[in-house]
Structure formats: structure tokens, C-alpha cells
Amino acid sequence: GKVETAAGQVGETSMAAPSDLSVAYETEAKAGDGGVEYQVIVVNPEKHGQGIGAYLTYELRTRMKGGAFGEREFAVRRKYNDFIWLRNVLAADYPHFLVPVLAEKEKLPAQASHEEQVIRRRCEQLQSFMNRVCNHHVLSQSKDLLLFLETKVWALESTQAAYSNQVGKMLHLLRRDADGAWKKIRGQFQELEDPEQDRHQNLLAYTTKLEEQTSLLLETARRLTKRQEGLGNDLADMSPTLEVLSQSEDEVAGVLAEAAKSFRASSDRVKQQAGADELYFVERLRDLVLWSTAAKELLKNREAAMCDVVALRESKMKIEREFEQVKQNMQSTKPKTAMEIFKETLTLESPKEQIRKLEEQKKECEAASVKAEGRWKQATKVTSQEMQRFHNLRVWEVRETLRGFCESQIQFHEDMARTWQSLLPKLEALPLNDLESGSQVTTSHFTTESQELSRGEEGIDLRLAGEDLKDLED
């Protein structure tokens, strides 16, 4: 999408935030047939409260096109937990579509400079989340998304309270471990044909490995950024020392002062690059990790749909066993034991009534099983399409992330080279005096003498014989 810059502020204190603290990315979602098109930006983070009770809110500006209401614009403020609510609702309503995963919420640090970095990162994360949701052809048409984008705070809180229990139960069902169900399918339900199972199992293994390796890459990038920040601090420490030396020297005072400026400029550029790498390289790697997590969750949801099929088949078999048992008891001519008579006295229903109810349960179970198998097959189809979409987007994002990093590094090293190259003429112009004659000499003069010395042209043998080495050892 297009990139915009909006003026932002941190908190309601008198401290002025940098103008680039709120970086707004415009998200354009393509509308489907009769669908809605959104342009959403996350801007102007505000800090509320102090200490452990402090929290942030973010302004969401939305321009909506399409639908029954035509073109509209509206803005709301949301907390991070509101984004979590939206994510959970979408994951429950659309279990077989790629629902982006949010990064874990960071605590606000005590230092103001570090706080600004956390806020910038969080804005980037939330904007990335909204990008993926609003650019999805199905998720972007969700009524809950529209509710999230336009409803005022009090109304949204009421809706969240009503949804919380229902969504929590749905997510619990969706996140069940399907390994046990698949073992049952392999063992008891060989007739359940699934030509896509092996492919999806391979996709799950691949996605899990991808998530692990990208996480390792993310940790390495974080360490690299931290080391770069340390380098910037070390370069900054050189500058005041050189300035002090320049005040106590005569002939080299100007050169030392210029060197102090070069170290200061290099420090600023290194720190600037570390911040850029943190925001536009590390965060994008984190986004790739979360994208892999979403794909893994999608594949597991397909297996959860398979669990429903297995559970209903087990229920059907149990009902059939009970039905046969009651039927055999009715047709049996053997005298009943005391225990069987006692069990019958505990049963308030007659055998005919039991058979009637079991037949009804069997029909209901068969109907539910047909629906579950239909949902499972549909989940398989949609999951395959979404995994293809995941692959295409991942390839594009990996390319853009690495290309952006390469271009940024090229510019950074060119800037650093110019900084140090500007110091060289001043160093070369510094006059040097021969210690014996007092005449001025150049750097090339010393180079020639050192070369002659190394060749032994002054009659000095720099090689040590074996006896000399022995004497040194003694």
C-alpha cells in the first residue's frame, strides 16, 4: 500500500514525540462481488496513566467503500486487547482461512527512549495485522471487522463481553490436538479415505520447520541489531575524548577536532541504521514467523475438523451397539438373572421406548456425520487454497524483506565511507617534520624507508639464526 506519515504523540504529557513516531501505512483491500473495500491506517498512539497501570491506545482511521452505505469515513481508538479480541473472533468464525497472528504484547519500559522504540514496533505490528486482515478476500467482509473499525468504545466493550464465553469455547474446540484422532483413523476407520492427508501432513511438518528456522533467524537479527547499537555507543564515546585531546595539542588540534566530528557522525549514522534495522528488518522477520504460525494453525484446524468426523462415527457405533444389545434382550428366551432384573427396575423406559430413542439418536448422528464430513471436505479444499496463498505471499515478503535490507545496507555503508573519506584529506594535509633534520617529510617518505628496511638495504639483518634464538630462549 501507499506509505503516509502522520504526526503522533506519546501520552498526554508535555513531552513532544518525534514526528515520525506514528508511521501510517494505508491498506487497500480489494472488494469482492458486492463486498466492502477498506483503507485503514493505525496512527497516533497515546499513553494513558503511569507506572504499572499505563496502557496505550491507537487511532484507527478507516475509509470504507462499497456495501449498503456507500463511501464513509470514521475513526476510533482501540487498545491492544481490542486487537486480540478481533483476532480471536476471526479465528473462531473462519477456522479454515489464514487469520494473522498478533505478536505478544511488550511491557512499556521505564526509559523514555526505549519506550518510543516499543511504541514504534507495536504500531508496526498492529498495522501489519490490519494489512493482512483487510487484504483478505473473506476476512475483510466480516461483520465483526466492521464492528471493530467503527463502533465506539462502550458499545464494543458490551459486544466483547457477550462474545467472550462463546468465542473461548469455540477456540478451545478448534485447538484440540488431532494426533490421537488421526491414530484412530489409521487404526479403526480405514474406510475413511483422505487422499490429501499425506500432503497436508507434509505441509504441517514443513510449516513447523519453517517457523522454527525463521525464529532462529529472527533471534540472530536481534543480536545483530543490539551489537550495532553497542557499536554506535562506542563510537560516540570516542568523540569527547578526541575533543579533549584537541584542546591540549597545537599542531594536531584541528585534525583531532575533525576526527571527533567524524566519530560523532558515524555514531549517529550507526544508531540510525540500528533503529531502521529493528523496525524494518527484525519486525518483518517477526511477521514472517507469525505468518508461519498462522499457516500451522490453519493446518491443525483441518485436522480438528477431521476429529469431528471421527467423534461422530464413534458415537454412531456406540448407538448401534446399544441398539443391538436392547434388541437381543427383547428377543432372548433365557431366564433373566437377578442382576438383569435389578437393572431393569432401575430403567424407567420400556425396551420398545429405548429402541425408539436409539433409532432417533442414530438418525441424528448420521445427519450430523454427513454435515461433518461435508465441512471436513470443504475445509480440505479451502485449506489447500489458503496454503497456496500463504506460499505466494511468503515468497513475495521474503524477497521484499531481504531486498529492503540489502538496499538499506548499501546506503548505510556508502554514508559511512563518505564520512571517513572526508577526513582523509585533512590527515594528508597535516605537515610532518623529520626528527633529525627538522625538514618536512611526507607519508610516502616513511613508506620508502620502511620498504628499504624490510629489504635489508641499510645493512641490517633482521633474520635470527638458530643460535640467536637459543640465546633468546635462555
pLDDT in tens, 327-373: 877 776 667 677 766 666 666 567 778 888 888 888 998 898 899 88
Average pLDDT, stretch 303-310?
A: 85
Report which DSSP code applies to 140: G
Cell numbers for 37, please give them.
Answer: 473495500
Q: Do the domains 1-175 and 177-332+350-422 sit in the same CATH topology, yes or no?
A: no
| pLDDT above 50 (res 99) | yes
User: Structure pTM?
Assistant: 0.74
Average pLDDT, stretch 259-288?
A: 96
| pLDDT above 70 (res 128) | yes
CATH classification code of 1-175:
3.30.1520.10
The answer regarding whether domain 177-332+350-422 maps to CATH 3.60.110.10 reads no
Cell numbers for 247, please give them.
Answer: 584542546
Strands (DSSP E) contained in 167-261 are none
135 in Cβ contact with 392 (< 8 Å): no
- Give the Cβ contact number of residue 156 at 10 Å: 18
Return all residues near 378 (Cβ < 8 A) that are at least 6 apart: 96
pLDDT in tens, 394-445: 999 999 999 999 999 999 999 999 999 999 999 998 877 655 555 555 555 4
Higher pLDDT, 265 or 366: 265
DSSP H or E run through 15: none
% of residues, the chain, pLDDT over 70: 71
Average pLDDT, stretch 139-162?
A: 80
State how far the Cα of 442 lies from the Cα of 5, in Å rounded to an integer.
52
Residue 2 confidence (pLDDT): 34
- Give buried/exposed letters for 82-104 (b at 16+ CB in 10 A, else e): bbebbbbbbbbbbbbbbbbbbbe
Place of cell 488431532: 178
State how far the Cα of 92 lies from the Cα of 84, in Å rounded to an integer.
12
Report which DSSP code applies to 52: G
| pLDDT above 50 (res 41) | yes
Average pLDDT, stretch 63-70?
A: 77
> What pLDDT band is residue 325 in, cutting at 50, 70 and 90?
confident
Higher pLDDT, 10 or 40: 40
Give me the phi and psi of 47, to 5 degrees please. Answer: -95, 135
Give the domain ranges of the chain: 1-175, 177-332+350-422, 431-457
Higher pLDDT, 439 or 257: 257
